[in-house]
Amino acid sequence: MPDKKLMPSWLSLEEALERLLAFFEPLEREERPLLEAVGQVLAEDIVSPLDVPTVTNSSMDGYAIHAADTSAAGRQTPVTLPVDGYVAAGHVYPHPVAQGHALRIMTGAPIPPGADAVVPFEDTDELEQKEQGAQAIQSVRIYHEAAPGANIRGAGEDVRQGQRVLARGTVIKPATAAVLASLGLVTAPVFRRPTVAILATGDEVVAPGQPLGPGQLYNSNSYGLAALVQSYGAVPKLLGIARDTVEAVEERLAEGMEADLVLTAAGVSRGDYDVVKDVLLRHGEIDFWTVRIRPGKPMAFGALVGTDRRGRPRRVPQIGLPGNPVSALVTCELFARPAILKMLGYTQLARPSVSAVFHGSLTNPDGRRTFARAILERRGDSYHATLSGGQGSHILSALALANALVVLPEERPSLRDGELVQAILLDADIPG
């Protein structure tokens, strides 16, 4: 990072993001219980400690036999074999199956030595005997010739001991948790979830639940940012609200020195009370502070340099987000999300986006890339985007209704009804 001069830069989103992401790496490895690890990323390859299935077993309910004994069996020419016994999954039949004999076997039960095929119930007189009230079946008629290996799953057929089952970098989904459990694992080696400290600033900002004085407003940013950070898979830590003095901001930020990332909201513009940038200048390093985007032009990125509670030296990255609620949440999406995903070990850092037909009108007077709050829906095979409400950076309701951000590039001064546009998906469930 450059030195402590506060040079107002004027960066493109790509330049800003590249500088910011260079600061982050996947965090250290930890072992997490499977259910808590969903959404985290494997920090190492998973090699199977066992064969799956562990032993050769039956894939059907039926009779384990020697295949050769069934040659020429047919509906009119059944082969009748004495039934020696009976084995269910989870149990081991203690004898081999002799030539000319059958063993009644249930799905998943180990195939005893001797037997080399399973004849399913429907190819025998099992059901007829049951319907006639037979309690234990003494002998069975086989109506169909069995090929050697029929209805048998070999040991290690699914997974071989020593085989790499999952690669480092795999995102753990519910089915991945099931795969890990099937190997006998109760924890997964994953990159640690980052802790993200969140500080709101402003003399006018009051915590929800408290009475509101004239000219004051409730702290919505901390809750919106914490909810976003949590949705990305990080652990939010609320540092509360700092008044607009360097001392108040410093005091609160000291509690953030244990975190992996600090987000501040407000205080990074050029007003008299924009003290967050002053704190960064005094106690840290500051990088860019203006990006060519709307909403969210005033932005700072830097590092807080200090010590944690135990006195260990720390250099904690800080993103100074703008104070307007929509700007704060959209810039969190654009900058904090990829940073958090990178710390979690993700390699796919961008949200998916689709090409959509735009409905409405939008202007871009000053060449900033504009991220408009929109409702995206699918009609047939095409996507359609409509503005979700007023585009002022204080109008939170339009962001709450939005499931996408429509992107108006720097060089495009306006967007008219029916034109094609890229839309970044904020939600999985796009209606249509």
Instruction: Select the residue interacting with its own copies from 14, 28, 75, 92 (CB under 8 A).
Output: 92
Instruction: Select the residue interacting with its own copies from 21, 53, 305, 384 (CB under 8 A).
Output: 53
302 contacts its own copies (rule: CB under 8 A):
no
Stretch that binds its own copies, among 69-77, 90-98, 295-303, 362-370 (CB under 8 A): 90-98
- Report residue 31 CA to chain centroid gap: 17
Amino acid letter, 61: D
Q: Give the orientation angle of helix 13-21 with respect to helix 337-344, to 10 degrees.
A: 30
Q: Are 87 and 93 in contact (CB under 8 A)?
A: yes
Q: How many residues in the shown chain lie near its own copies by CB under 8 A?
A: 94
d(CA 143, CA 126): 11
Footprint (CB under 8 A) of its own copies, residues 327-366: 329, 348, 351-352, 354-355
Q: Which of 386, 388, 399 is nearest to 358 (CA)?
A: 386
Instruction: Select the residue interacting with its own copies from 21, 235, 246, 430 (CB under 8 A).
Output: 430
CB of 331 to its own copies, least distance (A): 13
Footprint (CB under 8 A) of its own copies, residues 98-127: 106-110
Over its C-alpha atoms, the chain yields an Rg (Å, rounded) of: 32
Instruction: Select the residue interacting with its own copies from 1, 83, 137, 185 (CB under 8 A).
Output: 185
Instruction: Select the residue interacting with its own copies from 6, 68, 134, 186 (CB under 8 A).
Output: 186
Q: Are 415 and 358 in contact (CB under 8 A)?
A: yes
Instruction: Select the residue interacting with its own copies from 40, 57, 290, 318 (CB under 8 A).
Output: 57
Q: Are 149 and 115 in contact (CB under 8 A)?
A: no
132 contacts its own copies (rule: CB under 8 A):
no
Q: Which of 304, 322, 302 is nearest to 313 (CA)?
A: 304
189 contacts its own copies (rule: CB under 8 A):
no
The DSSP bridge partners found for residue 228 are: none
Helices (H), 124-237: 126-131, 174-182, 221-231
CB of 311 to its own copies, least distance (A): 31
Instruction: Select the residue interacting with its own copies from 11, 17, 41, 52 (CB under 8 A).
Output: 52
Instruction: Select the residue interacting with its own copies from 40, 70, 151, 221 (CB under 8 A).
Output: 221
What x-and-dash track marks residues 241-280 binding its own copies by CB under 8 A? Answer: ---x--------------------------xxx-------
174 contacts its own copies (rule: CB under 8 A):
yes
Handedness of CA 416, 422, 423, 424 (dihedral sign): negative
> Is the peptide bond preceding residue 148 cis, with omega within 30 degrees of 0?
no
